[in-house]
Structure 1
Amino acid sequence: MNEQELRDALRSEMAGATPPPPLSTGVTLGVARRVRLRRRAMWASLGSAAVVLAVAGFAAVGTPGDGVYEPAGHGPPTTSQESAETKEAWPTGPDGRPQEDRTARAGSRYDQGSRLLDEVVSVVPAGHTAPDDPANQPADQRTLRTHEAQFEAKVNGVDLWSYLSSVAVAKGKGTGRVLVEVHDAGNQLPTEPCALARSFWGMRGRCQVETVGAAQVGVVVEPSGDDRLDQWSAYRHPDGVVVFVAQGARFDENGPGLTKLPFSEQELAALAVDERFHLR
């Protein structure tokens, strides 16, 4: 672990204890980088509330607990130090060359992330809308819909990926958000439903197990010490694919939030099992 990752780990500990790291060094680094991407994206839009921290070329982070989240998009560029840590080239892109960093910008993996976004939009409940981004949107305005496909690690010679899509959900004058994150089979995330749910972005909270048919789904119904999201569910399919579905009453700190979350706890659990999010 380098100095930057140590700082990220300490920040994560301040927001809430993280689950035990996987045994694989490559997967451990992948998880740490994923958390770094999520937190950097969340804090990057805090404006005047942000605290600029110039460390190893990264800047613009804010204090934990501000409750603002924005998916990471294309993520930070790969540094020579990070490339040395992987000790192998990034996955090959559709042009036959290694990717520039962890995020796919074209090809089948990118298409999977785009497909996931369409599926998230399709489950927005009746009475709510999923507004799209306007044409010629200002660069400093938060995107209402976004998706990414990110290389996590190579385990037993197999590339493992995660996919994240986030959608703004509006009703009346309020806007919240719904997001889905999917991890390839072969991931080393926990198996027990609530342990799996509490592994999501290192967040903790009061968890209960919901039964959906024959499936057992962990649902965090009340987060503790972290207000980025209000509720989330987690399910591991029999083939090992993991799905997280999360919802928040507020899309950002600038506008009014929803008066009620889009989904009930049981509905949130059912979405984690939904085959539409079972990417293969």
Structure 2
Amino acid sequence: MNEQELREGLRSEMAGVTPPPPLSTGAALGAARRAHFRRRALWASLGSAAVVLAVTGFAVVTTPDGRLYQPAGNGPLASPDASGDTKQAWPTGPDGRPQEDRTARAGSKYEQGTHLLSEAVSVIPSGYTTPEDPPNQSAEERTLRTHQAQFEDKVDGVDVWSYSSSVAVAQGKGTGRVIVEVHDAGNQLPTEPCDLAQTFWGMRGECQVETAGTTRVGVVIRPTDDDRLDQWSAYRHPDGVVVFVAQTVRLDESRPALTKLPFSVPQLAALAVDERFHLR
């Protein structure tokens, strides 16, 4: 077979092939939207899975430079729309629109997070300072004082939120961190003090029950195999609100650590029942 015969044979074969139907614009857009939502759900799932410190769901990850990364997780799903796409139904923000993800960036929930940070700063003992981030830094860039309000779940038709604050604590050349986290009533966290304490950030450790006044508080005095935190306490108020208070001698790897923790074990237990952290 010469070259000319080969060409003619190929043309004959191509002429016998039925061309595919033209691509529908609507179908293409629908497929693109579905792919977009699948990718978004996948990233949310990966963010939630990476959350080794989910105080029972509060997504926070300490990065190597000490930053607190708080990825959004999956939320409740609404029914598919007319195109077959499924969209996440986040709580409505103060502008009347659904939030972009779990985190509130304005409104009453956001203000609760701001308030919690102020209260956390107020309990740092004398002899320590609480350095602040430069005023021109965005919320995402701050490492010394951070706060967040995050939607956790809808329980019996009621939105359940968590609020977190982190305060850098300095003394001499060392810098550590104090963290306070609060979960709304209606959360699905355990009731028994040490069971509750061992849910914080998914960490485990040597736990003991401390008495603060007339209340029993779970305090992990030593983590087993995770050194992100040194100690933390946990308390469930009678109305169901849960408070965690944690401390660590090291803020991040770029700064020297404190020579000692800011609070004793009894003080850490007392902070968990402190009414200043009893958000309603």
TM-score range, shorter-chain basis?
0.7 to 0.9
Q: CA deviation at 1:142?
A: 5.0
Partner Cα separation in structure 2 for residue 140 and residue 193 of structure 1:
33
1:31–1:152 Cα contact (<8 Å) kept: no
Paired with 1:212 and 1:152, the residues of 2 have a C-alpha distance of 28
2:249 paired with 1:249:
yes
Q: Which residue of 1 aligns with 2:128?
A: 128
Distance 1:132 1:246, change over 3 A: same
Identify unmatched segments of 5+ residues in structure 2.
1-40, 80-87
State the Cα distance separating 1:6 from its structure 2 match: 7.6
Gaps of 5+ in 1: 19-29, 47-67
Identity %: 65
After TM superposition, the structure 1 = structure 2 runs for residues 105-254 of structure 1, keeping only pairs within 5 Å, are 105-137=105-137, 142-254=142-254
The answer for the alignment partner of 1:71 in structure 2 is 68
Match of 1:38 in 2: 60
CA distance in 2, matches of 1:194, 1:131: 32
Letter in 2 for 1:266: P
2-side partners of 1:105 and 1:7: how far apart? 19
Q: CA deviation at 1:134?
A: 1.9
Q: TM-score, normalised by structure 2?
A: 0.75
Compared CA separation, residues 84 and 126, structure 1 to 2 (3 A) = closer
Instruction: Give how far 1:187 is off.
Output: 0.4
1:126-171, CA deviations, whole angstroms, 9 ceiling, x for partnerless residues? Answer: 1001111123349996520010000000000000000000000000
Kindly tell me: are residues 275 and 254 of structure 1, through their superposed partners in 2, closer, same or farther at Cα, counting changes over 3 Å? same
Asked if structure 2 preserves the Cα contact closer than 8 Å seen for 1:146 and 1:165, the reply is: yes
TM-score by length of 1: 0.75
Cα distance in 1 between the residues matched to 2:166 and 2:130: 10
Work out the number of aligned pairs and report it: 231
Separation (CA, whole Å) in 2 of partners of 1:138 and 1:92? 24
SS in 2 for 1:234: strand
Quick one: higher RCO (CA 8 Å, sep 6+), 1 or 2? Answer: 1
Contact residue 60 and residue 68 of structure 2 kept, 8 A? yes
Q: Which has the higher mean CA deviation after the structures are superposed, 251-260 or 130-139?
A: 130-139
